[in-house]
Structure 1
Amino acid sequence: MEQILLDWGEAIPAHVAVPAGDATVAGVIVLHEIFGLNADIRRIADRFAAAGYLAVAPDLYAHQGMRPFCVLRTFLTLGRGSGPAVDMIEATRAWLAKHPRVDASRIGVAGFCMGGSFALLFAARAPLGAAACFYGAVPERAEELEGICPVVAGYGERDRLFAPAGRRLERLLATLGVEHDVVVYPDVGHSYMNRHDGCLNWLGAVSPMHVGYDEAAAEDSWRRMLGFFGR
């Protein structure tokens, strides 16, 4: 596990996935779901590396106390638009920009659920080339996304909580004239790109969000995301 140094001297753990070879490559920040920096998020970062990106997945819960409290603090940061989690994402971007293998002009962000919400928030204020938001919350007003880079996104129609956010995101980006590719997949629920283990599979399937991995939608989203980031 890599350590990324913050401006105030603390370090945060992060999973770093480096592509083979020594060529200069694009970088991507991978932002985790509410479940934290787990094996699934590390798998996603590794897949980015296999596709030729230097990917970093920071632990947004680092240095924020016991898990229930750090989750709450992270969501409060999301609501305010500033705080420790945003600082960690910026520190990750700065770390990537200084990495000898990374082209600092080609850094993107990809987030899932909570991480997707942070991806949109961060992409509206940071120098990024592209952002990917999968089933994340979306601001109500276009003004909150002003200055955002091109966006690729995906949502599941069966996800009663977040499907409307996907449609709103497409409207807001169109209003702002931002290049985008947003798809709401029919017959698909929440977290369709993430592989959850154990009881999460059962609980998610019976929830109004219809949480569950969907191979077809996930692979299509990977195709769209990598194509979008590669422009």
Structure 2
Amino acid sequence: MKRIILAVLLLPMMHAAAQLPEVQMRSYPLVDDSVRVAYALPAGNPVRPAVIVLHDRFGLQSNVHTVLKVLARMGFRAYAPELRSLPLTAVSGMPGFSLDSTDAEMVTQVSVDVLNEEGCSGSIGLLAFDAGALVAMDVITRFPFFRSAALFYPPTDAEGLARLLEAKAVLQLHVAQFDPLCSLAAVNGLRERFMEAGKRLHVLYYKEAYPLFVNPEHENWHKTNTQSAWNHLLKMLRGTL
């Protein structure tokens, strides 16, 4: 059974996009504006939990679409709003980015609309990468309706990570051994604080991995780590949503 699940998860890596749900675009209204949202739904549009995907500093690129397709294939309603927190420089290497404080409110508004859609079961979680993980940290520490959140490589220090102690959601943190923006020392310190508070933090470490390994188009993409990440992620989502 485990091999069958892994084979399904590896479909996008083998360019079998025809067997995965299609990604579509729509606009969600905001108080004073609107936001573009990429989304993919399970076949037949059944009543299912939702997952909000917050992209990395490279925006709504093909790797985000792949994530949406796999989530939908696994039975989740998957949505990825276009964040305003985008690179300050051309998209190459690891550009810096500008974190937009309005993204948290935008994500929350979209999430409420998603929860009220006819096909949503009423359960919602977050999956966030890099810059999107910082937005997710702001969201889950302010709004309690997210049941779980998986954060990949939040580019912040120990003080920034400490904000996660305020979250009510079940948390899963994915970190790389050589990531200078989210060090192992900072993460281990956070785990100790969670234990002292009687709370649990699920941490996944990846040896010899670098930020953005989930993007097959990135030079530091690690196929084995991508498989491992999907296994842990789906186990958490199925156990909480």
Tell whether the structures are fold-level matches, with TM greater than 0.5. Answer: yes
AA partner of residue 107 (structure 1)? I
Which residue pairs with 1:160 in the alignment? 180
Looking at structure 2, the residues matched to 31 and 6 of structure 1 have their Cα atoms a distance apart, in angstroms, of 17
**Residues 26-55 of structure 1: CA distance to partner in whole angstroms, max 9, x if unpaired?**
101100111111111111111111111101
> How many residues are treated as equivalent by the alignment?
206
Aligned match for 2:38, one of 11, 15, 22: 15
The equivalent position to 1:87 in structure 2, one of 85, 105, 109, is: 105
The answer to whether structure 1 residue 178 and structure 2 residue 195 are counterparts is no
Aligned mate of 1:108, from 106, 121, 125: 125
Equivalent runs, 1:121-200 vs 2, <5 Å: 121-126=138-143, 127-138=145-156, 140=159, 142=162, 145-164=165-184, 165-196=186-217
Structure 1 residue 99 displacement after superposition: 1.1
* Equivalent pair of 2:141/2:163 in contact (CA under 8 Å): no
* Distance in structure 1 (CA, Å) of the matches to 2:207 and 2:124: 31
Q: 1:215 to 1:72 in 2, by over 3 A?
A: closer
Paired with 2:57 and 2:226, the residues of 1 have a C-alpha distance of 19
**8 Å contact from structure 2 (residues 57, 87) kept in 1:** no
Distance 1:119 1:54, change over 3 A: same
**What SS class does the counterpart of residue 179 from structure 1 fall into?**
coil
- Normalization by structure 1: what TM-score? 0.80
2:30 is matched with 6
Partner SS for 1:124 = helix
Distance 2:225 2:109 in 1: 32
- Residues 80-136 of structure 1, C-alpha deviations (whole Å, 9 max, x = no match): xxx3211211122112111111122x1000101111122222112221110000011
Deviation at 1:142, TM superposition (A): 3.6
Q: Is 1:52–2:52 an aligned residue pair?
A: no
Mapped pair 1:27 → 2:45 = no
Q: In structure 1, what residue type is equivalent to 2:52?
A: I
SS in 1 for 2:37: strand
After TM superposition, give the deviation of residue 72 of structure 1 in Å: 8.3
Question: Distance in 2 between the 1:114 and 1:168 partners?
Answer: 21
> How far apart in 2 are the matches of 1:153 and 1:144?
10
Residue identity in the other structure for 1:214? H
Where 1:136 maps in the other structure, the secondary structure is coil
Out of 145-154 and 122-131, give the one that drifted further.
145-154
How far 1:213 moved relative to its partner? 1.2
Instruction: Check 1:162–1:6 CA distance in 2 against 1; reply closer, same or farther (3 A cut).
Output: same
Aligned CA RMSD, in angstroms, stands at: 2.4
